[in-house]
A and B are shown apart, each in its own frame.
Chain A
Amino acid sequence: MKSPRIYMCEDSLEGILSAVHAAYMSRYGHEFQSIEAGDYVEPSLFAEMIPVETDVDKAMRVADAVIHKISGYAWHLIKYAAMSCYMDKADTIYRFLVLGFGVGSKVTEQLADPVVNRMLKLERGVMREKDHFYGFVRFRELNSGILFAKIAPKHHQLPLAAEHFADRYPMENWMIYDERRHEVCVHEAGRGWWITKDVTPSQRIISDVSDSQKDFEKWWKQFYETIGIKERENPRCRMSMMPKMYWSNMPEMLGK
């Protein structure tokens, strides 16, 4: 019986894959190793803690192996699961890869297997929230003409949202700010987008909205109030389709 080892890595896709690389390279035996992502690690009396530096090259090598030896779909699952907010995601990805490199592309069909199942649940959680965000994100036009949106997602959504909105508004200058992670995604009209970490936009600038913004908010509220049919009122259904956590950023739901 060997003593257990815990690899500690950065909370990102690259970080987790670097740790997977380190765990494989050590040849210590998968059953004695686990991976933890993020700052907080449950202290364990007997385990040996090994910090892993994020190394994009190594992560890319693991990614290549996944795509070629398992499948594109498996890579999709890993990408999404890595954005989840749950603590067990790093180790789940590791176990999934151990299983996947053994059986190949069929691994994603083994829905009843606890590890594969957990992987799918992580992915589904991120996908579901992503669908909500595509719909419920609201941009406000600032006086400078920039569109600004604020989100506070449970999972890490900014890269997904950025891809979607970059395709939707290619000729606009826009910004999406993640309140929880203090990250901002900036898109420049006709160019690309990038994400900057550890920033907080100034309250003064983001509350300075343009005049037409006020008009459109007024019209939108009018439309929202009118389109509901009184005879069919159903607040419970509305709440389950559009949970309250999103309301604070939606002009039509303010004050409800």
Chain B
Amino acid sequence: MEYMAPEDPLQKKLMILADAAKYDVACTSSGVDRESGGKGMGNSRACGICHSFASDGRCISLLKILLSNDCIYDCKYCKNRLSNDVPRATFTPEEICRLTMGFYRRNYIEGLFLSSGVVKNPHYTMELILETLHLLRDKYQFHGYIHVKSIPGADEELIRRAGFYADRMSCNLELPTAEGLKKLAPNKDRKMILKPLRQVQKGILENKEELMVYRHAPKFVPAGQSTQVMVGATPESDYQIISVAEALYKKFALRRVFYSAYIAVNEDNLLPSVDTKPPLLREHRLYQADWLLRYYGFRADELLSEQHDSFNIALDPKCDWALRNLDQFPVEVNRASYEMLLRVPGIGVTGARRICQARRHTTLNFNDLKRIGVVLKRAVYFITCSGKMMYRINFNEDSITRNLLSVHERLPIEVRESVSGYHQLSLFDDRQAGQWQIPLPALREVVV
């Protein structure tokens, strides 16, 4: 790392500890509506507010820092592991408060995201975090958003108290399966990580009941919990990953599961080599599938299965599903249920809602759909208006696939090349043989 140490000690710490926190994906500030009530500083909007966008195009909403990168654990994938020789730093709680309040006051941020390496032991670390939150909320009267990590292995009471200060808590699973974790993070185990998740989940449930009785009872983690898994560090399949995510949503009532494409920072024979590029497209497909699980009523085993266990790189998961289930299409826009509309490629939650509203007053045609803002680029192959499709198309998997592939989706350059090459070849084949079978399974084997 090129390293220009700034003069100013606080700036130096900020540089080290922001750099160490940047691999954490979660930067959302959503889920809570709170007014300042005319005192102190800060409020919170349920929709979340993005304050800036970093050079990698990711939203900056919170001051995302570690309290300390001085860690006693030696997880193979982590830049701050014990055996790495990197500059170490630890913020004092007062310093964090100063930065948070100063940035917040100038509208740079929506709040604080505080994580930490494990200093001395989990209890000690959690105590430091708790003290910071206590100062921010009680001394500085800060009502903005706070996202904090629950440190696995810390005392339950400490986590509980942090939960009354924070809006969201998270605890990273790091790797999708217990075996992967055991291999790469010798000091952690799955049970240890799941324990605080379970504790906070129970706390939220109890708090809900309490709030029903006493409206002004203090709120416990009102924006819920999230977690993060790394993609590409271990050989788990997409099917395993989304099944884990589905289980987490169901059993732990998580708000979000974040996926982070593994970026090789350490040399280790258990890890992919250092010059491996982060699997960005795979991460993108996982997020698309994650949305399908949370908002579109899909199940993991509908999207993938044991035999067919990774996402198509050329098509998004919903198109891929629709092509495998063409018997359910085309759908009549004026009559289909909301749930079925959600399953049409190209129609999202907003589009489906607008269709359901608008069709109460008129019979919709394709122009109406355009006018109310439904994007027809993909949907056009799967819907009818008053029994007619927009164009005359061959309603079979091959021709629809070909048409969908020509819809421009902005993919990373290496994928775009491989896809377009395959596309030209298949057109040629088509003309030669007349009968054209799309080699989809072969395509799925390409690992990005």
Binding site for B on A (CB under 8 A): 106, 109-114, 117, 131, 134-141, 147, 149, 165, 167-172, 190, 212-213, 215-216, 218-220, 222-224, 226-238, 241-242, 250, 252-253
Are B51 and A109 in contact, with the CB atoms below 8 A? no
B residues in contact with A238, CB < 8 Å: 53-57
Cβ–Cβ contact A222 & B106, under 8 A? no
Across the interface, name the chain A residue whose C-beta is closest to B18: A226
Most-contacted residue by chain B among A169, A190, A213, A253 (CB, 10 A): A169
Asked if B361 is at the interface (CB within 8 A of a chain A CB), the reply is yes
Q: Are B22 and A212 within 8 A (Cβ)?
A: no
A220 touching B108, Cβ below 8 Å: yes
| A231 engages B60 (CB within 8 Å) | no
Q: Are A227 and B60 in contact (CB under 8 A)?
A: yes
B278's partner among A109, A218, A232 (CB-CB below 8 A) is A232
From A171, A223, A224, B41 is in contact (CB under 8 Å) with A171
Stretch of B9-17, B182-190, B208-216 with 4 or more beta carbons under 8 angstroms from chain A = B9-17
**A231-B105 Cα distance, complex, nearest whole Å:** 32
Instruction: From known contacts A138-B106, A170-B39, A237-B57, infer whether A227 and B18 are also in contact, taking CB-CB under 8 Å.
Output: yes
Chain B residue at minimum C-beta to C-beta distance from A237: B57
On whether the beta carbons of B41 and A172 are closer than 8 Å, the reply is yes
> What separation, in Å, do the CA atoms of A241 and B258 have in the docked complex?
20
Q: How far is the CB of A169 from chain B (nearest CB, A)?
A: 6
Closest partner residue, chain A, to B99 (CB atom):
A219
Q: Are A112 and B371 in contact (CB under 8 A)?
A: yes
**Which residues of chain B are near A131, meaning CB under 8 Å?**
47, 49
Interface residues on B, range: 35 or more
Residues of B within 8 A of A (CB): 6, 8, 10-11, 14-15, 18-19, 21-23, 35-36, 38-43, 45, 47, 49-60, 63-64, 99, 102-103, 105-108, 261, 263, 277-278, 280, 354, 357-358, 360-362, 364, 368, 371-372
- Residue from B15, B105, B277 in contact with A226 in the complex, judged by beta carbons closer than 8 Å: B15
Interface SS majority for chain A: helix
Given the complex, which residues of B lie within 8 Å of A110, measured CB to CB? 358, 361-362
Complex A-B: 9 CB contacts under 8 Å: A111-B372, A165-B107, A169-B36, A170-B38, A190-B38, A218-B11, A222-B14, A228-B55, A242-B53
Given contacts A110-B361, A111-B358, A222-B14, contact A227 B277 (CB under 8 A): no
Bound CA span A112–B36, Å: 40
Tell whether A168 pairs with B36 under 8 Å between CB atoms, given A112-B362, A216-B106: yes
Assess whether A168 is in contact with B22, with CB atoms less than 8 Å apart.
no
Q: Please tell me which one of the listed residues A106, A234, A252 contacts residue B361 in the complex, with CB atoms under 8 A apart.
A: A106
Residues of chain B within 8 A of A171, CB atoms compared: 39-41
CB distance from B370 to the nearest CB of A (A): 10
- CA of A172 to CA of B6 in the docked complex: distance in angstroms? 31
Instruction: Give 10 closest A-B pairs by Cβ, nearest first.
Output: A237-B57, A228-B55, A228-B54, A234-B57, A111-B358, A112-B368, A232-B56, A226-B18, A242-B53, A111-B372
Residue of B nearest to A134 (CB): B49
Of A113, A226, A230, A235, chain B has the most CB atoms within 10 Å of the CB of: A226
Task: Kindly list chain B residues whose C-beta atoms are within 8 Å of the C-beta of A237.
Answer: 53, 56-57
Q: How far is the CA of A201 from the CA of B362 in the complex (A)?
A: 53
Q: Cβ of A165: which chain B residues have Cβ within 8 Å of it?
A: 107
Assembly CA distance A46 to B342 (angstroms): 51
Inter-subunit contact A168/B42 (CB<8 Å): yes
- Contact in complex: A227, B64 (CB < 8 Å): yes
Is A112 a contact of B372 with CB atoms below 8 Å? Answer: yes
Q: When the two chains form their complex, are residues A167 and B43 in contact, meaning their CB atoms are under 8 A apart?
A: yes
12 additional contacts (CB under 8 A) given A139-B106, A168-B36, A171-B40? A109-B360, A135-B52, A136-B51, A137-B107, A220-B108, A226-B14, A227-B22, A227-B54, A228-B55, A233-B55, A238-B54, A253-B52
Say yes or no: A112-B106 contact (C-beta < 8 A), given A219-B10, A227-B18, A228-B55.
Answer: no
- Which of A169, A213, A229 has most B Cβ within 10 Å? A229
A229 touches B371 (CB 8 A): no
Q: A111-B357, A112-B358, A222-B14 are in contact. Are A149 and B64 (CB under 8 A)?
A: no
- Expressed in whole angstroms, the minimum distance between the Cβ of A134 and any Cβ of chain B is 5
A167 touches B49 (CB 8 A): no
Complex: A134 Cα to B107 Cα, angstroms: 8
Question: B108 — which chain A residues lie within 8 A by C-beta?
Answer: 138, 220
> What is the CA–CA distance of A168 and B144 in the complex, to the nearest angstrom?
8
Minimal beta-carbon separation of B404 from chain A (angstroms) = 23
Residues of B with C-beta under 8 A to A235: 55, 57
How far in angstroms is the closest Cβ of chain B from A180? Answer: 20
